[in-house]
Amino acid sequence: MIRTARPADLDAIAALHTRARATYYQGRLPAEAYSGEAELARTREGWSRAVARAASDGGVLCAERDGELTGVAAFRTADGETTLTQLHVDPGHWRRGTGAALHAACLDAWRLAGVGRVRLEVYEHNLRAQAFYAAHGWLADPSGAKSGSHLTLWLSVRPASGE
């Protein structure tokens, strides 16, 4: 089930985010950059701001199975540009359709809001995520734009079939 995140989800979201990040940062960044109590608190605070954001400014969606949070996605619209800021699936739930379901729910929200194009940044060493996004139609920025160690990808949001 995909649903809108609630403040009561914040601890579970932050913990899931931390577990997911460890899979692609481990061995590439110092552990304190993606784990530990201080980073967990910073992560929770960021998610708290995202969950509290007005619906017109974005959204946070949770994937849930049998009462357990299995994935989370967040997007934000600012200055006329929509960005998929986060999409994480708990590593214990990979390859079960959770990411695809979250992505589809984001697409539905973007279509409903009239968004025509979305951007994201993906860690250059996270090849699993890059393959996921490519399979869902995201394309590398033609200018080769990077934000530090992250690649910029774009998605054209097409109207749902029948519209």
DSSP of 112-144? HTT--EEEEEEETT-HHHHHHHHHTT-EE-TT-
- What pLDDT sits at residue 149? 83
How confident is the model over 141-157, as a mean pLDDT?
A: 86
In this prediction, residue 33 has a pLDDT band, given cuts at 50, 70 and 90, of low
How confident is the model over 121-149, as a mean pLDDT?
A: 89
End-to-end C-alpha distance for the chain, whole angstroms: 25
Three-class SS state of 36: coil
In this prediction, residue 154 has a pLDDT band, given cuts at 50, 70 and 90, of very high
Residue 41 scores a pLDDT above 70: yes
Q: What is the rounded (10 degree) CA torsion for 125, 86, 62, 50?
A: 150
- What pLDDT sits at residue 29? 63
Instruction: Outline where the chain has alpha helix (H).
Output: 10-25, 37-52, 98-112, 127-135
Residue 145 scores a pLDDT above 90: no
| Token pair recorded at residue 58 | 């974005």
- What pLDDT sits at residue 47? 93
Domain boundaries, the chain: 2-156
In this prediction, residue 162 has a pLDDT band, given cuts at 50, 70 and 90, of low
Summary mean pLDDT of the chain: 89
- What pLDDT sits at residue 24? 74
Q: Which CATH architecture best describes the domain 2-156?
A: 3-Layer(aba) Sandwich (3.40)
pLDDT in tens, 52-80: 998 889 999 999 999 999 999 999 999 99
